[in-house]
Structure 1
Amino acid sequence: MSTDSTTSVTNSRERYARWVLPLCWSAVALEGFDLVVVGVVLPSLLRFPAWGLTPNTASLISVIGLLGVMAGALATGPVTDLIGRRRTMLITVVAFSVLTLLCAAAPNPWVFAVLRFLAGLGLGGVLPVALALVNEYAKPGRAGGAITTMMTGYHVGAVLTALLGIAVVPTLGWRPMFVIGALPALVLVPVMVRYLPESTWYLRARAAGAPAAAAGAAEVRNPVTALFRGGYLLPTLAFWVTSFMGLLLVYGLNTWLPEIMRSAGYQLGASLALLLVLNVGAVVGMLIAGRVADRIGVRPATIAWFAAAMLFLALLSIKLPGATVYLGVLLAGIFVFSAQVLVYAFISQRYPTWVRGTALGSASGIGRLGAITGPLVGGALLTAGIAYPWGFYIFAAVAGVGAIAVSVVSRPEPQPAEV
């Protein structure tokens, strides 16, 4: 690459680097809003006489949306490694925002389900791109903290969805929620067009006239193939298993924790409050986990986080007295949710830049199978009448499998600087 091309890439990085984290945080917050909005409007949809939904058909719509997210994550990873992070991020945000808006006008549940699947394709693509960009633009030694900070956006979006649902749905119905979910893109997309930088790795490859995927290794041009070659087969499979377990925990607990606690004898109000405490713990845990990972290394931090999640989930199988149950749930939230985020940070550091988006997308996509499995496991345990205490034993075992799977991956090799 010429000196002028190198200088141009470096100047672009220095000028726009500070925009990467807030813009990616905003995109992930919109993803959090959009992925939770169906759950918020579900009670209203079940009572919407024109559609005649049953709990089974409503669950099918939810699963169809998650399948779209899985497909989007699997497909977008290779795309971002081939056409660049910036362009892919813009496409995914525009796509899911437009399709979310169209959901507000769906004439029947089947069109709604198709729109949710298509929106899921864009939603699934946001996270791998955002993770890759934030990792590439993070200050040296600060990637773990940057990634976990970005992921707090998901929970902020989820909380805002719940609050807006309380204010909007009872008076205006369910359709305006999808209009509200699409509107922020009117501001975010123009700002991204102006300020979101491209991966400096991709810019160097393009300036050199080389295919993007060939920038890191000339002998391997397909980033999908690279996941299974050159010593990456074992890490790839291990990360898939860990992501499956991590998202099984996240979605299983978020879906069924109130009902599991009610089956343990807690009142409904207390059970819902415990769900809020769980998610407060998630935000706190992410802010702590990234700093710990930056200090001791992402591999030991990820193993420790899954092990701690196993411990505190098992502890919840004991009926704790008084306010100590809230402390137990808070601690479980601190470790359960951020354990999976640390997996993403580990992946970002374990693979070379030119295949990073594909690695993140594949782990996120396979993990969505866990996101579907978690609620099914919780529902089966509740139906069988053994959700308490066996639900927590099973969730603790899942966290243990996650810890074992991630422990077989060696520590990340030092990667060359992105400038």
Structure 2
Amino acid sequence: MTGDHVGAVLTAGLAIVVVGRFGRQEMFVLGALPALVLVPLMVVLLPESPSWLASQGRAAEARAVGEHYGVHVEHHTPGEEQEERSGGLMLLSAGRRRNSIAVWGASSMGLLLVHVFTAANHPPRVRATALGMSAGVGRLGAISGPIVGGTLLSAGRAYPWGFLAFAAVGALGGAAMTGTRTRHGLRGPGR
């Protein structure tokens, strides 16, 4: 996920330079070029994950990949393998359904609120720029979140420090929102 957000930020920066000079069609061509190089490299160089190989009954390959990358390959009972194969449906199983739906709802409603607030409080001539900046700056959190979480997890400090770190980020976000003014409180050209 972090690579996706880094790519989005870099693409926006590239677009600022390219679209003004050459046009949007050239931007689409430039956007496709990395895929033409990276997809074949990924197919050749990236192995399947050890868990997937093990779930397909390819235990020897799973062990070899796991040993090469220093990843522990878990051995599952047949029932656990069947549950693992259910993929996305596993998120809606009895023990996970409530949390999955709550997280999906919170994520989508949070993004919706940010976008609605941004759109409602900027005049039409800068609304698209405001939404783009909101999404772009928001990606910085999407980039740093997995880095912080992964670092804490690797250090064996994910609990309780991971929760505390993300709670602090949430509190900072809430504090930042208290400094905003609604459109009715703003004065300026076009208001």
Q: Give the TM-score taking structure 2 as reference length.
A: 0.59
- Give the superposition deviation at 1:187: 1.1
What is aligned with 1:207? 58
Q: Structure 1: 5+ residue runs without aligned partners?
A: 1-150, 210-214, 321-381, 389-419
Name which of 229, 235, 246 aligns with 2:107: 246
Q: How many residues align?
A: 161
CA distance in 1, matches of 2:117, 2:7: 20
Q: Does structure 1 residue 293 correspond to structure 2 residue 150?
A: no
* Alpha carbons of structure 1 residues 153 and 166: separation in structure 2 relative to 1, 3 Å: same
- Give the superposition deviation at 1:166: 1.4
Name which of 3, 7, 11 aligns with 1:161: 11
Contact 1:228 1:236 in 2 (8 A): yes
What is aligned with 2:175? 315
Contact 2:152 2:162 in 1 (8 A): no
The residue type equivalent to 1:177 in the other structure is M
Q: Does structure 1 residue 224 correspond to structure 2 residue 92?
A: no
CA distance in 1, matches of 2:97, 2:28: 36
CA distance in 2, matches of 1:180, 1:280: 23
- Give the superposition deviation at 1:157: 0.8
What is aligned with 2:94? 233
* Alpha carbons of structure 1 residues 283 and 304: separation in structure 2 relative to 1, 3 Å: same
RMSD: 4.2
Q: Does structure 1 residue 191 correspond to structure 2 residue 54?
A: no
Note the alpha carbon deviations across 1:379-400, whole angstroms, 9 max, x for none. xxx8xx6899xxxxxxxxxxxx
Larger radius of gyration: 2
- Give the superposition deviation at 1:216: 3.0
Contact 1:168 1:177 in 2 (8 A): yes
* Alpha carbons of structure 1 residues 192 and 274: separation in structure 2 relative to 1, 3 Å: closer
Contact 1:289 1:301 in 2 (8 A): no
Note the alpha carbon deviations across 1:18-64, whole angstroms, 9 max, x for none. xxxxxxxxxxxxxxxxxxxxxxxxxxxxxxxxxxxxxxxxxxxxxxx
* Alpha carbons of structure 1 residues 192 and 281: separation in structure 2 relative to 1, 3 Å: closer
- Give the superposition deviation at 1:176: 2.9
Note the alpha carbon deviations across 1:343-375, whole angstroms, 9 max, x for none. xxxxxxxxxxxxxxxxxxxxxxxxxxxxxxxxx
The residue type equivalent to 1:206 in the other structure is G
CA distance in 2, matches of 1:166, 1:243: 32
Contact 1:169 1:177 in 2 (8 A): yes
CA distance in 2, matches of 1:156, 1:258: 22
Give % identity: 29
Contact 1:258 1:274 in 2 (8 A): no
Q: Does structure 1 residue 174 correspond to structure 2 residue 24?
A: yes
* Alpha carbons of structure 1 residues 165 and 240: separation in structure 2 relative to 1, 3 Å: same
CA distance in 2, matches of 1:301, 1:387: 39
CA distance in 2, matches of 1:312, 1:306: 10
